[in-house]
Homo-oligomer: A and B are copies of this chain.
Amino acid sequence: MDGKATSEIKPTWPVNTWYVACTPEEIADRPLGRTICGERMVIFRGPDGRAAALEDFCPHRGAPLSLGFVREGQLVCGYHGLTVDCRGKVAGMPGQKVGGFPAARRFAVIERYGFIWVWPGDAEAADPAKLHHLAWAESDEWAYGGGYFHIACDYRLMIDNLMDLTHETYVHASSIGQKEIDEAPVRTRADETEVVTSRFMEGVKAPPFWRMALRGAGLPEDATVDRWQLCRFSLPSHVMIEVGVALEGHGGYDAPDAAKASSIVVDFITPETETSHHYFWGMARRFGVDDPALTDTIREGQHKIFSEDLEMLEMQQANLLRWPERRLLKLNIDAGGVRSRMMIDRAIAAGTA
Which residues in A have some Cβ–Cβ distance to B below 8 Å?
Answer: 2, 4, 40, 56-57, 59-64, 67-68, 76-81, 93-96, 101, 160, 164, 166-167, 169-171, 182-183, 185-186, 311-312, 315-316, 318-320, 322-323, 325-326, 328-329, 331-334
In the bound complex, do residue B315 and residue A67 qualify as a contact, i.e. CB atoms below 8 Å apart? yes
A329 is contacted by which of B59, B167, B183 (Cβ under 8 Å)? B59
**Do A315 and B64 touch across chains, with their CB atoms under 8 A apart?**
yes
* Chain B min CB distance to A314 (Å): 10
Please determine whether B167 and A80 come into contact, CB atoms closer than 8 angstroms.
yes
Alpha-carbon distance between A80 and B329 when the two chains are bound, in angstroms? 12
Set B183, B186, B316: member contacting A79, Cβ < 8 A: B316
Knowing A81-B170, A171-B78, the reply to whether A94 touches B319 (Cβ < 8 A) is no
- In angstroms, Cα B338 to Cα A345, docked, is 47
| Contacting residues, chain B, for A169 (C-beta < 8 A) | 81, 94
| A167 / chain B contacts, CB cutoff of 8 Å | 79-80
| Chain B: CB-nearest residue to A101 | B329
Are A2 and B325 in contact, with the CB atoms below 8 A? yes
Closest CB-CB distance, A29 to chain B, in whole Å? Answer: 16
Chain B residues positioned under 8 Å from A56 (CB to CB): 319
- Say yes or no: A333 contacts B95, CB within 8 Å: yes
A62-B328 in contact (CB<8A):
yes
Bound-complex Cα distance A182 to B92 (A)? 12
Is the pair B4, A322 in contact by a Cβ cutoff of 8 Å?
yes
Measured CA separation A329–B93 after assembly (Å): 13
- State which of B76, B79, B322 has its C-beta within 8 Å of the C-beta of A312: B79
CA distance A61 to B164 in the complex (A): 12
Instruction: Tell me the bound Cα distance from A101 to B166 in angstroms.
Output: 18
A57 vs B331: C-alpha distance in the bound complex, in angstroms? 17
A243 to B51, CA, bound (A): 41
